[in-house]
């Protein structure tokens, strides 16, 4: 399988080059089509990428909190629910926009780790996140990069509860993925229905950082 | 449910004609309504989790649409074909993860696979194109319409559509090259 540039250069005739462009453009148009259909499915059929009951999953502690503030919820309930759905849909949309790809293999400590890492990266880049999670998890000594991509695999796979602690840990450990962690941790909090933490995390995204404008859009909806 | 989603052969062919002209209303009304059933099927029959079933159904929808347009799906038992393809896509998506027992002979991966950066850069180049260029490419590359058919539809000469296509291709590739450090060899750009 070749990438676009290699394929275009390797084509020997104008017809072949046009075919390369056609195949590449179909992938570009698919992104738009997918987004459009995701919105139609969400708005007209009530179907989202992450199952609604998972999106709205509330832990027992949260449930107690909700019960305690039930009266306030009655007044604000309808508005809150709509806002919640909207911001989670937006976060989901941002997450699904363009799949992240792994930059490639980095050095590890053992041959076995190298093999597992190589397979995990390949699975991640093919968007087979369940397999990638399995493979990252058998790496004995996880690098910072492994942890980041394991967190991303959990997030894309919808196991948000597993993604969050990894990103939080990375946030404490290193600044290597500061901008990425700020962004993906914000999305994870939103999808996990934790608005206060999402807000704090989004506020870490400064002007000039990756996805600053989008973080502003999310903050506006949260405020 | 009807094996062709309630469509007569005439309606099915009409739907294809509309899809080629980038009008997906009928296709969407039928297939998006089937989306939930397909997720349920994959969950029930193959024990798929919700997210995997959703992704497989969405991937199937995109591929199935192209196959209809490319003339690879014929009227007869469209519902069965869609469901079978969804199963194959689900298995393909999971092929390194679980054992397979479904043939995938007609599900070969696309031989041009854009990496993340290329997809991003080409998407940006695509956004730079005029509406007219985007429409032409959608009809020609995504809708598989011949240039002569587009010309007839737009009441233009085939030559003018062909020239437009070359201009649009040049714009696209130039915009892409600006964003991609490895510029495309100029001798490979289409000549007007």
Dist. CA B48–CA A10, nearest whole Å = 39
Please give the angle made by the CA atoms of B131, B135 and B141, to the nearest 5 degrees.
140
User: Which of the two residues, A158 and B100, has the higher pLDDT score?
Assistant: A158
pLDDT digits (tens, 9 = 90+) for B162-171: 999 999 999 9
Residue-wise DSSP of A16-83: HHHHHHHHHHHHHHHHHHHHHHHHHHHHHH---SS-HHHHT---HHHHHHHHHTHHHHHHHHHHHHHH
Question: Do A131 and B96 touch, CB atoms closer than 8 A?
Answer: yes
Give the minimum alpha-carbon distance from B164 to chain A in angstroms, rounded to a whole number: 14
pLDDT at B101: 38
**Residues of chain A found within 8 Å of residue B28, distances taken between Cβ atoms:** 37, 40
Q: What is the per-residue pLDDT across B52-64, written as a single tens digit (0 to 9) for each?
A: 899 899 999 999 9
Q: Residues A129-174: pLDDT tens digits? A: 888 888 899 888 888 889 999 999 999 888 888 999 999 998 888 8
B29 pLDDT band (50/70/90 cuts)?
confident
Instruction: Please report the DSSP string for A155-204 in residue order.
Output: HHHT-HHHHHHHHHHHHHH-STTHHHHHHHHHHHHHHTT-HHHHHHHHTT
Residue partners of A140: CB distance under 8 A and separation at least 6: A109, A110, A112, A113
Contact B113 A127 (CB under 8 A): no
Question: What is the mean predicted confidence (pLDDT) over B123-145?
Answer: 91
Contact status of B146 with chain A (Cβ, < 8 Å): no
Instruction: Find the angle CA(B101)-CA(B103)-CA(B108) to the nearest 5 degrees.
Output: 130
Query: Which of A1, A2, A4, A23 best tests the B interface by mutation, with the highest count of B CBs <10 A?
Result: A4
- Residue B49, classified by CB atoms within 10 Å of its CB into exposed (0-12), middle (13-18) or buried (19+), is middle
A217 in Cβ contact with A90 (< 8 Å) = yes
Mean local confidence (pLDDT), B84-113: 63
Of B172 and A175, the one with more pLDDT: B172
Give me the residue spans of the domains in chain B: 9-93, 116-185
**The pLDDT of residue A80:** 55
Q: Do A3 and B120 touch (CB under 8 A)?
A: no
Judge whether A100 and A210 are in contact, CB under 8 Å: no
Percent of chain A at pLDDT exceeding 70: 77
Cβ(B91)–Cβ(B76) under 8 Å? no
End-to-end CA distance of chain B: 52
Cα–Cα distance measured from residue A154 to residue A166, given in angstroms and rounded to the nearest whole number:
9
Q: How do residues B144-183 score in pLDDT, each as one tens digit?
A: 888 999 999 889 998 999 999 999 999 998 888 887 765 5
Locus of tokens 């987004």 = A35
**Domain boundaries in chain A?**
1-47
What is the least distance, in Å, from the CA of A127 to any CA of chain B? 8
From residue A24, how far is each of A101, A123, B55, B111 by CA, in Å?
17, 21, 20, 10
Q: How many CA atoms lie within 13 A of A211 on its CB side?
A: 25
Rounded Cα distance between A102 and A96, Å, is: 16
Could you give the CA distance from residue A68 to residue A187 in angstroms, rounded to a whole number?
Answer: 27
What are the DSSP calls for B140-170, one per residue?
Answer: IIIS---HHHHHHHTT--HHHHHHHHHHHHH
Residue B112, strand partner residues = A2
Q: Cβ of B184 under 8 Å from any chain A Cβ?
A: yes
pLDDT class of B192 with cuts at 50, 70, 90: very low
DSSP string, A110-149: SHHHHHHHHHHHHHHHTT-HHHHHHHHHT-SS--HHHHHH
B118/B112 Cα distance (integer angstroms): 11
Residue B9: pLDDT above 80?
yes
Are A3 and B114 within 8 A, CB to CB? yes
pLDDT of residue A165: 92
| Rounded Cα gap, residues B73 and B88, in angstroms | 15
Q: Could you give the ipTM of this predicted complex?
A: 0.80
Out of B62, B97, B190, the one facing A33 most closely (by C-beta) is: B62
Give the mean pLDDT of chain A.
79
CATH 1.10.510.10 fits B116-185, yes or no: no
Mean pLDDT over each residue of chain B, to the nearest integer = 82
CB B16 within 8 A of CB B78: no
Q: What pLDDT, on a 0 to 100 scale, did the predictor assign at position B104?
A: 39
A5, A33, A100 member nearest B118 (Cβ): A5
Chain A CB contacts of B110 under 8 Å are 1, 23, 27
Nearest-angstrom CA–CA distance, A58 and A153? 22
């Amino acid at each position: 399988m070749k990438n676009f540039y290699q394929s275009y250069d390797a084509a020997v005739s104008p017809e072949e080059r046009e075919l390369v462009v056609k195949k590449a453009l179909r992938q570009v148009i698919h992104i738009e089509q997918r987004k459009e259909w995701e919105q139609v499915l969400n708005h007209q059929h009530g179907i989202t990428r992450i199952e609604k009951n998972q999106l709205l999953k509330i832990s027992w502690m949260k449930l107690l909190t909700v019960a305690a503030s039930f009266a306030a919820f009655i007044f604000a309930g309808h508005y809150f629910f709509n806002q919640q759905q909207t911001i989670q849909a937006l976060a989901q949309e941002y997450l699904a926009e363009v799949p992240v790809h792994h930059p490639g293999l980095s050095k590890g400590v053992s041959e076995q780790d190298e093999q597992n890492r190589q397979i995990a990266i390949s699975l991640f880049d093919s968007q087979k996140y369940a397999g990638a999670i399995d493979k990252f998890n058998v790496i004995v000594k996880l690098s910072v990069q492994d942890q980041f991509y394991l967190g991303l695999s959990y997030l894309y796979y919808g196991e948000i509860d597993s993604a969050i602690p990894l990103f939080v840990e990375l946030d404490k450990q290193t600044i290597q993925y500061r901008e990425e962690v700020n962004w993906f941790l914000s999305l994870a909090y939103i999808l996990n229905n934790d608005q206060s933490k999402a807000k704090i995390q989004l506020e870490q995204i400064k002007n000039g950082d990756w996805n600053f404008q989008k973080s502003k859009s999310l903050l506006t909806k949260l405020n | 449910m009807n094996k062709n989603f309630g469509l007569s052969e005439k309606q099915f062919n009409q739907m294809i004609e509309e899809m080629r002209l980038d009008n997906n209303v009928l296709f969407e009304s039928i297939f998006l309504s089937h989306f939930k059933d397909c997720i349920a099927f994959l969950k029930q029959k193959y024990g798929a989790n919700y997210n995997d079933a959703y992704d497989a159904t969405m991937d199937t929808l995109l591929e199935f649409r192209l196959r209809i347009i490319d003339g690879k799906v014929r009227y007869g038992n469209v519902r069965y074909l869609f469901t079978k393809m969804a199963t194959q896509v689900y298995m393909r998506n999971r092929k390194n993860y679980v054992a397979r027992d479904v043939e995938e002979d007609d599900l070969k991966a696309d031989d041009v696979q854009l990496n993340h950066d290329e997809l991003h850069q080409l998407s940006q180049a695509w956004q730079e194109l005029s509406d007219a260029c985007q429409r032409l490419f959608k009809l020609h590359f995504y809708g598989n319409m011949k240039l002569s058919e587009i010309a007839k539809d737009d009441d233009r000469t085939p030559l003018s559509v062909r020239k437009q296509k070359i201009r649009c291709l040049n714009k696209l590739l130039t915009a892409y090259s600006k964003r991609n450090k490895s510029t495309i060899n100029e001798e490979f750009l289409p000549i007007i």
